[in-house]
Structure 1
């Protein structure tokens, strides 16, 4: 894989990368780790990723992260006893997630730790100095190239407590849909963090009248769909899948707040799906970072037939411009449009007899 533009910008500034125990936060596996080792030969490299796809790529490239000195973590929060002298953060799509990330690592950095923020200009990284003015000192732009910006600063430890409490970061809100009352908890960076989005609201109003058995919530986000189904259809067993560790932790919290249980697990599309389900429901994601990304959702629709029970059904909501119906028709069976509204369409298909 060729180096991404942000990685190329980092390597243009090699003097900033000298460190014994760097922490890379949400950087992809694009060859940058190899370049960093060749440049500096650090004692250890710690890779923290909230995206399961990136984590999988790092562990696969580095023999399950067992290559000497490389430590990979997939989680919603980072815990370590190492004090890092360099932290490189891929600027997140959600600005609130940046503050969350800096608070999360306060326990493992000090006032001499270099903090580098890198990202594409269209991702909003220009706002980095303003966003970090109360957390970082001397956060300054040090490079601009390849449509990317690089900022460097130092941590101000007195500004954040080293005791990080995850509960403080959940946004919680109540919704009532079809007479079902729910409390939803969501961490920064999770889709629809503070209110029920229009597409999901339409989906919840157009699910099958009767549901029982195993239900897969693909791209579960904060768990709104599963919580609704679990409350309304008590004979269901919930399975919640997402690529984001922040989403999975949010979904687990939402289930608990509503007195529900479910199996919550990460997967790259259907990579880690092994069960067969009676119902699949989804507001499938089509954004990866700041880019529009359809492949995972299309792979999901093309392959989900293998995970459906006989007469199993799938119901999804999608932006009306997305051409999902032909894919569902070809791979699952007869696909109906059962509702439209506010730019969204609800598709429902039942597995064809084999």
Structure 2
């Protein structure tokens, strides 16, 4: 049986209760990693109470909770990470209202003495963040990033050197490393994001903010579902679940002109990209609704006729199937009787077993050597 994750984080003779979000009783993954510990060891005794701190990409709030006594601005692209941080602050008797909260497209308009960054998985997201960070620096700002060694790549170091200044890294400790950058290139510069490409086959211009998956081309899973899109369905309400840039929902808007279309994602950048794509392709209307949240938590039960889903199998740097399973369970609740969930996924993930367990049925719509499109219907 897998070992359950510890929830008590001990540091400098103090301890905090830290949990991942959404909380799972039998979770095997901790809410912090060795990169968090190494970064805290470096800065916790050096930050003064009169100094300002910007924390970026703090996965579940471990950095924020541990450093809550300081003047913190907290920035993240993820709704789930934000809710985790808020919950961990509350669980450790900290006032979340003392924090300044920001998302990836709403950066603070002040400069900081300390900038603490957990390196994101996406190179594009890091590039966008460093462009935006420039206006938050002064000549004496201290910029420190942390990552597990396997996730700290040479291209990340080159980005810091190009956009921020002289950069060096620490020795590895518990398979984690720190990156130190000097605030040398602090003149304001515009981020090159969102990026744009054309999908002529569907008469769509596609715009992607930096944190959205598959920046400059159509990802092959979405392409496969677009090629095998539902037909002959008299759907009145369609949901693009985990919408990313919203292409599945926008294709539905083209093919089902009378249907209401809802877009759900936990990424601020994803929802902003989906809205931008609806506007730029002249598909924006009162029929479209964009929801930033945790899967389908904000959806009404028994309300949808069709749900389209290209589920993630990562949460930050960790591979996990729990998000997909949550999406499937909530899809069953959200669908009307007779409604259908269409899922495109890598074949090896074996989602047909989960759909069979939840819906009592599944059907393979189409498959190739890499992907499979599965359909499940709510019959009860």
- Work out whether the TM-score is over 0.5: yes
Q: 1:15 to 1:235 in 2, by over 3 A?
A: closer
Are positions 1:132 and 2:156 aligned together? no
Which residue matches 1:23?
A: 54
Q: 1:35 to 1:62 in 2, by over 3 A?
A: closer
Q: 1:306 to 1:322 in 2, by over 3 A?
A: same
TM-score (norm 1): 0.89
Are positions 1:200 and 2:222 aligned together? yes
Which residue matches 1:90?
A: 118
Which residue matches 2:76?
A: 49
Q: Are the equivalent residues in 2 in contact too, given 1:284–1:297 (CA < 8 A)?
A: yes
User: Per-residue deviation at 1:235?
Assistant: 1.6
CA distance in 1 between counterparts of 2:97 and 2:274 reads: 34
1:233 corresponds to which of 256, 268, 271: 256
CA distance in 1 between counterparts of 2:122 and 2:357 reads: 36
Q: 1:16 to 1:224 in 2, by over 3 A?
A: farther
Q: Are the equivalent residues in 2 in contact too, given 1:199–1:317 (CA < 8 A)?
A: yes
Could you tell me which runs of 5 or more consecutive residues in structure 2 were left unpaired when the two chains were aligned.
Answer: 1-6, 10-31
SS at match of 1:321: helix
CA distance in 2 between counterparts of 1:117 and 1:125 reads: 12
Q: 1:176 to 1:16 in 2, by over 3 A?
A: farther
Q: Deviations over 1:184-240 (max 9, x none)?
A: 110223112111122111111222213431111111111111111111221221111
Are positions 1:173 and 2:197 aligned together? yes
Are positions 1:221 and 2:252 aligned together? no
User: Per-residue deviation at 1:293?
Assistant: 1.8
User: Per-residue deviation at 1:48?
Assistant: 0.6
Number of equivalences = 342
Which residue matches 1:350?
A: 377
Are positions 1:334 and 2:361 aligned together? yes
Q: Are the equivalent residues in 1 in contact too, given 2:77–2:211 (CA < 8 A)?
A: no
Which residue matches 1:35?
A: 66
1:318 corresponds to which of 345, 357, 361: 345
User: Per-residue deviation at 1:159?
Assistant: 4.8
CA distance in 1 between counterparts of 2:97 and 2:332 reads: 41
Q: Are the equivalent residues in 2 in contact too, given 1:215–1:236 (CA < 8 A)?
A: yes
CA distance in 2 between counterparts of 1:289 and 1:156 reads: 30
With 110-119 and 58-67 compared, the bigger mean Cα shift is at: 58-67
2:325 corresponds to which of 294, 298, 303: 298
User: Per-residue deviation at 1:30?
Assistant: 4.9
Q: 1:67 to 1:227 in 2, by over 3 A?
A: closer
User: Per-residue deviation at 1:68?
Assistant: 5.5
User: Per-residue deviation at 1:289?
Assistant: 2.1
Q: Deviations over 1:236-289 (max 9, x none)?
A: 211111121111111111111111232112222333333621100011111222
Which residue matches 1:289?
A: 316
1:4 corresponds to which of 23, 33, 49: 33
SS at match of 1:246: helix
Q: 1:67 to 1:224 in 2, by over 3 A?
A: closer
TM-score (norm 2): 0.83
Q: Are the equivalent residues in 2 in contact too, given 1:110–1:157 (CA < 8 A)?
A: no
Are positions 1:149 and 2:177 aligned together? yes
SS at match of 1:79: coil
1:100 corresponds to which of 117, 128, 137: 128
CA distance in 1 between counterparts of 2:152 and 2:239 reads: 34
CA distance in 1 between counterparts of 2:65 and 2:333 reads: 38
Could you tell me which runs of 5 or more consecutive residues in structure 1 were left unpaired when the two chains were aligned.
Answer: none
Q: 1:270 to 1:313 in 2, by over 3 A?
A: same
